[in-house]
Structure 1
Amino acid sequence: MIFRTDLAIEATETITHPFPDISQTEEQHGSCKITRIRVEGPEGAKQLNKEMGNYVTLEMPPISDTVDLEDECQELLRKEIAALLPQEGLVLVAGLGNRQITPDALGPQTTARVLATRHIKGELARVTGLTGLRGAAVITPGVLGDTGLETVEFLQGICRQLNPCAVVVIDALAARSLARLGCTVQLSDTGISPGEGVGNLRPRIDQHTMGVPVIGIGVPTVVDVETLALDLFGGDRTRTERSEERLAPRGARMVVTPREIDLLVSRAAQMLAMGINRALNPSLSVEDLTMLTAP
C-alpha cells in the first residue's frame, strides 16, 4: 500500500533527505501561501512519482466558506495561470470529470463558466463591443463510460483541428490529507493523469500526447480511504494491512469527501473559471466577466 496523492507538495513531504533534482520555495501573501516545486531530473521525478516540470500550489482559506472574486487569492491565481500560458494564440480549455458525480464535477462546472471567445470576431466583435478578446475554445469531453472515447483521444482530435497554442485542463484531484481538501489549488505545466490519485489511471494528457503545452489545474476534493488510514496510522503499514478488509470491503475502493462537497465544488469552479477568464482577457473586469458568463 502506498500514499495516493495528486499533489506535488504532499509528495515532497515523504522525502527524507534533499534531492538535487527537486527545488522548493515558499511565499506568503496575506492569507494565501504559494509553494513552487520544480522537478528537474529523472531521479527527482522517480522519487516524487511526478513528471519533470513546475508545480505551483496555492493554499488559502476554505473555498467552501466564501469566494471573493476580487480578493488577493483570486488575483494570485490569475497571475499564476497567466504566467504558465503562452502570451498569444488560441487556448483550448477542457473540463475533465463526470458532471453526475459531485466530487468529480469540478472540470465540467468550471468550463461552464469559462468565456468561449473563438467565434467572437469581425462584425460580431464590433457590435458587441468585444474586440481584442483572446481566442478561447471550451470543451467538456465527458467520461469514457459515456462516450467510449478516452479523453486524450477526444482532445487530440480537437487539437489537430484547432491547432491551439496551449491546452488548459481542469480536473478534481485526490489529496493525502483531509486538511488539504477544498483549500488548495495546484497548477502545473506537466499535464495531468486523470484518475491517478484514486487508482483509476487513464492515459496522460501532456505536451507529448497533445503536441502543445498542457497546463493542469485542480482542487483536491477526495482522499483515498487506504491512504487516509495509512496517514492516520503514522505510516504503519502492518496496522493498515490488518484493516484492509474493513477499508475496502469486498475489494471495493472507497474515498472520503467533505459533507459540503456541493458547495465546495461550485465555489471552486467559480474561482478557477474567473482565474482563467481574467488570465486570458485581463482587460475585462470581474463584473464584465461575471455578466458574460452568467447562466
Structure 2
Amino acid sequence: MFKKRTDLALEAQELWRESAERTSRLPGVKAVKRKQEGYTVTEVRVLDERGAEALGKPVGSYRTVDLAGFWQRRPDFFPRAVRTVGTELRELLAPEGAVLVVGLGNDAMTPDAIGPETLRHLLVTRHLIASLPKQFAGFRPVAAFAAGVLGTTGVESAEAVRALVGETKPGCVIAVDALAARRMGRVCNTVQLSDAGITPGSGVGNHRAALSRETLGVPVIAIGVPTVVEASTLAADLLEEAGIPDFDPARLRTGGGEMTVTTRDIDAQVRDLAKVVGYAINWALQELEIEEITALLS
C-alpha cells in the first residue's frame, strides 16, 4: 500500500481518517482548534501509545499554526504572527531556566535552511549574563548552536547537541528544522510546535538520530516549518482529487530515488518565516516587545 508522507501531526490525523473512510473517533488522540491573533491554531494531542501507533508520532502536544494569511500582508501581520507562534511556544516552555536553541539543517540548501536562518534573528544572552550579570539580570540565558549536517561536519547533530547539553546544562532545548508536508497548501504556510522532540533531516528525507528528552536528558521543544512535499505524495493526492483513486503506487516512485517539490519563491519564504520563528522565540523567552527585539538585534 502506498504511504503518503507528512511530518505534520495535523495531516497524519487527516490521513488516518481518510484510510478506509474511518469516521469513528481516533483513540488516544484529541484535537482542539482555536483562533489566536487572527491565525488558526490546531492542537493535536497524542495521549497514549494507541494514538502514537495510529499517527506514527510520539506522545505529546503538536500545535500547528496556520500562517496562510501572513502572505496577504494585512496590518500588523508580522507582529501578530510572532505573538501567535510565541504564545504557543511559551505554553510549552518551563517559565525559567537557561535555553539552548539549535538550528538544524543545511544552510547551503534553501528548503533545509530554516534552522540556521532562524538563528540570525535570535537574541543570544548567555555570555552577556555571565560577564555583565547586573546589566542583564532581567534576561533569560539563551545560547545558540548551528548543528550543520553530517556530510560537512562528520558529526551527527544528536551527538553534537548531546555534548553541548552536557557542557552548558540548559534547562531546555529548542530545535528548529524543516519539515515535509503532505499538501502544497501547507508548505511555508504553517509552523508546527511540539514538546515531543524532533528527528533532524526529516524534512528532506534524511532521517538522523532523534533529539528528545530521552536522548538529551532535558525537555526538547521542536519548531518545524514544512518547506517541501514528496513528489509521490503530491502525485497521489492530485490523482485522487482528479477522481483516479486506483493507481499503481510503484509508478509514483522515480527510478533515481524520491524527489521533493517546493515553491518557486522558497528563498524569500524561508527568510521571512525564519524571522517569524526567531522573533517568536525571543518573544517567548524574554520580557520584550517586538520593537525592543528589533532594536537589540540591530
Same-fold call, TM > 0.5?
Answer: yes
1:162-186 CA-partner distances (Å, limit 9, x unpaired): 1111000000111000000111110
Confirm or deny: 8 A CA contact 2:178 2:202 kept in the other structure. no
Residue 292 of structure 2 aligns with an amino acid whose one-letter code is D
- 3-state SS in 1 of match to 2:272: helix
* Change beyond 3 A, Cα 1:289–1:2: same
Residue 175 of structure 1 aligns with an amino acid whose one-letter code is A
1:262-289 CA-partner distances (Å, limit 9, x unpaired): 110000000000000011102x221221
d(CA) in 2 for partners of 1:150, 1:45: 26
d(CA) in 2 for partners of 1:161, 1:237: 53
Confirm or deny: 8 A CA contact 1:64 1:263 kept in the other structure. no
Q: Select the residue among 25, 31, 48 that pairs with 1:24.
A: 31
Give the corresponding residue for 2:99: 91
Residue 138 of structure 1 aligns with an amino acid whose one-letter code is A
Structure 2: 5+ residue runs without aligned partners? Answer: 17-21
Matches within 5 A, 1:142-161: 142-161=148-167
1:42 aligns with 2:46: no
1:110 aligns with 2:97: no
Give the corresponding residue for 2:257: 252
d(CA) in 2 for partners of 1:69, 1:120: 32
* Change beyond 3 A, Cα 1:72–1:240: farther
Give the corresponding residue for 1:101: 109
Give the corresponding residue for 1:168: 174
Q: Percent identity?
A: 40
Residue 229 of structure 2 aligns with an amino acid whose one-letter code is V
d(CA) in 1 for partners of 2:203, 2:107: 18
Q: CA RMSD in A?
A: 2.0
d(CA) in 2 for partners of 1:264, 1:64: 9
Q: Select the residue among 285, 289, 295 that pairs with 2:289.
A: 285
* TM-score for both structures, normalised by structure 2: 0.90
Confirm or deny: 8 A CA contact 1:117 1:137 kept in the other structure. yes
d(CA) in 1 for partners of 2:256, 2:5: 17
Confirm or deny: 8 A CA contact 1:62 1:182 kept in the other structure. no
- 3-state SS in 2 of match to 1:232: helix
> In the TM superposition, what is the alpha-carbon distance from 1:8 to its structure 2 partner?
0.3
How many pairs align? 288
Any runs of at least 4 consecutive aligned residues in structure 1 with deviations exceeding 6 A, and if so which? none
Confirm or deny: 8 A CA contact 2:70 2:78 kept in the other structure. no
Residue 58 of structure 2 aligns with an amino acid whose one-letter code is E
> In the TM superposition, what is the alpha-carbon distance from 1:198 to its structure 2 partner?
4.4
1:197-229 CA-partner distances (Å, limit 9, x unpaired): 543211111000010000000111100101111
Structure 1: 5+ residue runs without aligned partners? Answer: none
Q: Select the residue among 68, 74, 82 that pairs with 1:74.
A: 82
d(CA) in 1 for partners of 2:71, 2:111: 13
d(CA) in 2 for partners of 1:122, 1:188: 30
